[in-house]
Chain A
Amino acid sequence: MGMTITTILDYDFMRNAFLATLIVGIVAGAVGYFLVLRGETFAGHALAHVGFPGATGAALIGLSPIAGLSLFTVLAGIGIGVLGSKANRDVAIGIVLTLSLGLGLLFLHFYTAYASQATNVLFGNVLGISVQTLWVLAALGIVSLVALGLIARPLLFASLQPELAEARGVPLGRVSTLFMVVVALSTVDAMQIVGVLLVFALMVAPAATAMRITRRVSTGVIASIVLAVAIAWISLVLAYLTDWPTSFWITALGGLGYFAVSLPAWFGARRPT
């Protein structure tokens, strides 16, 4: 294995891939923990999809896809945040999600030259990450983490006990919207690795696994980050060894980890509720 790793790291694109997944793993792991805690994973999933027409639309008018991605997802994040926890929010999000994929398809129809890139946008292309993209990932990641750090305290309170938090003066709407913007920025990060369709694999699977094996929020966030990075790195090695897509391995390991820690709870002695 040691030999393999040194060989792998001889390649520039592999070094970039390891660095990119490190950045994204940290961001997705931390933000994902709060996303799972709040039960808003579907919103995170949808935000990523909105990035698809963002990327293809930006390419169509000659802009950088990552700028289009960021703009669309952040706007969608604000939209979801403003919708709040309305009863029909999931339906609205689901419709916007479908509409986004449809729009993305339409943009591709007009700009066929970009079609070859479509698979990368949808499923990610971690082995094609340039040094320049690394800097963008790092900048987005730092903004996400700093913003998360600033809102984490009221966010946690509002997530666990919304009525009490509201009564004690936490602005629920503002906190929720700010968090959705943070989620939007970190999905843009995660999309570079696993694409818009598989963002769940990095944002949700490690966080949900971490929540099952930890008790405290602090250890949960750390476990989530470690799992996300570990899953991504092992996937890179496996992809190198098997020549199968990295994104496949990330989804496979993420799913495996989650089901492995969940099985005892599902089939074993039920925890008292």
Chain B
Amino acid sequence: MSLAYGGRPVLSDVSFAVPQGKFVGILGPNGAGKTTLLRAVLGLVQPAAGRIDVLGQAPRRGSPAIGYMPQVRRLPADIALSGFDLVTGAAGGHRWGWPMASRTERDAAAHALEQVGATDLARRPINELSGGERQRILIAEALLGDPKLLLLDEPLISLDAGNQRAIIELVHRIGEERGIAVLFCSHELNPLLHAVDEVLYLGGGHAAIGPVDEVITAETLTKLYGSPITVLRANGRIFVLADDVEIEGDAHSHGHNGHDHHDHP
């Protein structure tokens, strides 16, 4: 399968299968095609070549079987909508009509919020929540409609280490309890190291999938990028270096894709 973004090829001749019920970290530097890949799984972009099968069929836009959490974006600053209202709006937002929430939608929102432990949190205005609290609300939205597959785009962005751990544990637990596969995008690999079953590493327009110890190696990544890559392991952390420049990890956390966020001063 090959994917393009804005006419520019992002991934070419990529082939992988995600095992049911596995927690898969989609890793790779910014611009590697993580978001485009998720959008292809959602049926929002068509592969330039090849085919995608999601849960046994071609991707279909708006399929309730897939839960999705897009990258955080700034909400309109002047609106102090509660987390509950936001999730309720997402529960029935695809229907036409006046946004009066039905009983079913309110129940679905309450149920989703309960699963991420955000029932109390959701009473507060969304623009007064911290980054970690807001991520919980957004993960609750991804759980609406009892999906069979979870796609999370950079849930760790702009979170401190403690909040990153909490979010990873939460997603891990949800995936296990429901026995569903989770695709978890991150440009930082270290926070995910111990939680993921497998990693799907995107880089140089190609992809490699497998356990961390098989994929994040100098050999695999050198083949992926087609240029020499060094993988350093120190203190239980992994650093991926190309020409002595770290291409993976904390160095990137302050300049991702121009997707503005507001938790940095």
What residues make up the interface of A, taking CB atoms closer than 8 Å to B? 36-37, 39, 149-154, 156-161, 163-170, 208, 211-212, 215-217, 220, 271-273
Residues of chain A within 8 A (CB-CB) of B162 are none
- In the complex, the answer to whether B42 meets A167 with C-beta atoms within 8 Å is yes
B217 at the interface (CB under 8 A from A): no
Name A's interface SS. helix
Contact of B127 among A39, A159, A167, A271 (CB under 8 A): A271
* Cα-based distance from A220 to B79 in the complex (angstroms): 9
- In the complex, the answer to whether B99 meets A160 with C-beta atoms within 8 Å is no
Name B's interface SS. loop
Residues of chain B within 8 A (CB-CB) of A167 are 39, 42, 44, 61-62, 66, 68, 70
CB distance from A213 to the nearest CB of B (A): 10
Query: What 0/1 readout, one digit per residue, does chain B (125-162) give for beta carbons within 8 Å of chain A?
Result: 10110000000000001000000000000000000000
CB distance from B43 to the nearest CB of A (A): 9
* Cα-based distance from A150 to B97 in the complex (angstroms): 4
Residues of chain A within 8 A (CB-CB) of B61 are 166-167, 169
B92 at the interface (CB under 8 A from A): yes
Residues of chain A within 8 A (CB-CB) of B95 are 153-154
User: Contacts A164-B68, A167-B62, A216-B81: A150 and B96 contacting too (C-beta < 8 A)?
Assistant: yes
CB distance from A184 to the nearest CB of B (A): 20
User: Contacts A152-B97, A217-B99: A160 and B70 contacting too (C-beta < 8 A)?
Assistant: no
Residues of chain A within 8 A (CB-CB) of B66 are 167
B128 nearest in chain A by CB position: A272
- In the complex, the answer to whether B127 meets A170 with C-beta atoms within 8 Å is no
A-B contacts, 15 listed (Cβ < 8 Å): A149-B98, A152-B98, A156-B99, A161-B141, A163-B71, A163-B73, A164-B69, A165-B90, A167-B44, A167-B62, A211-B79, A216-B82, A272-B128, A273-B127, A273-B262
User: Contacts A167-B42, A216-B81, A273-B77: A153 and B93 contacting too (C-beta < 8 A)?
Assistant: yes
B197 at the interface (CB under 8 A from A): no
B68 nearest in chain A by CB position: A167
CB distance from A224 to the nearest CB of B (A): 12
B130 nearest in chain A by CB position: A272
Residues of chain B within 8 A (CB-CB) of A163 are 68, 70-71, 73
Contact of B78 among A159, A161, A211, A272 (CB under 8 A): A211
* Cα-based distance from A166 to B80 in the complex (angstroms): 23
* Cα-based distance from A234 to B44 in the complex (angstroms): 50
Residues of chain A within 8 A (CB-CB) of B79 are 37, 160, 211, 215, 217, 220
The 5 closest A-B pairs by CB, nearest first: A169-B62, A157-B93, A163-B70, A153-B99, A167-B68
* Cα-based distance from A153 to B88 in the complex (angstroms): 11
User: Contacts A168-B94, A211-B79: A152 and B99 contacting too (C-beta < 8 A)?
Assistant: yes
Contact of A168 among B85, B93, B262 (CB under 8 A): B93
A175 nearest in chain B by CB position: B96
CB distance from B37 to the nearest CB of A (A): 13
* Cα-based distance from A272 to B127 in the complex (angstroms): 7
- In the complex, the answer to whether A39 meets B76 with C-beta atoms within 8 Å is yes
* Cα-based distance from A242 to B82 in the complex (angstroms): 44
Residues of chain A within 8 A (CB-CB) of B205 are none
CB distance from B57 to the nearest CB of A (A): 16
B17 at the interface (CB under 8 A from A): no
User: Contacts A156-B89, A163-B70: A37 and B96 contacting too (C-beta < 8 A)?
Assistant: no
